[in-house]
Amino acid sequence: MTTIPSLPVFAQARVFSGARLHELRTAAGVPRELLALVSGLGVPAIRSYEVGRSVPNLNTAAAVAQVLGCSLDDLLVAATNEPSAQDEARTEA
């Protein structure tokens, strides 16, 4: 049997994380209102990203990262096939 080597870290799939956005925003001491204003978004959009209801496009995520003084990569986490707590809550509703 042939084994397939695991992918290097840089080749693994990564996805936007609203939880990570919230973590970075609060650590930077930036209120949602200020992040929304400076990045050209609305507060509901920022809230929606943070709770996982929606995902920003690449340009929006880059603008948010710039305002927070982090890289776009800082807003990403490794993709998994496991459902998130938010996904499970949606299916129960």
Count of domains for the chain: 1
CATH number assigned to the domain comprising residue 76: 1.10.260.40
Query: What is the 8-class DSSP label of residue 5?
Result: P
pLDDT of 5 higher than 70: no
Nearest-angstrom CA–CA distance, 39 and 66: 9
Between 21 and 9, residue with greater pLDDT: 21
Q: What's the domain range around 31?
A: 12-82
For residue 44, being part of any structural domain is answered with yes
For residue 93, being part of any structural domain is answered with no
Q: Among residues 72, 20, 29, 64, which one has the least CA distance to residue 45?
A: 64
For residue 49, being part of any structural domain is answered with yes
For 17-68, what is each residue's pLDDT tens digit? 999 999 999 999 999 999 999 999 999 999 999 999 999 999 999 999 999 9
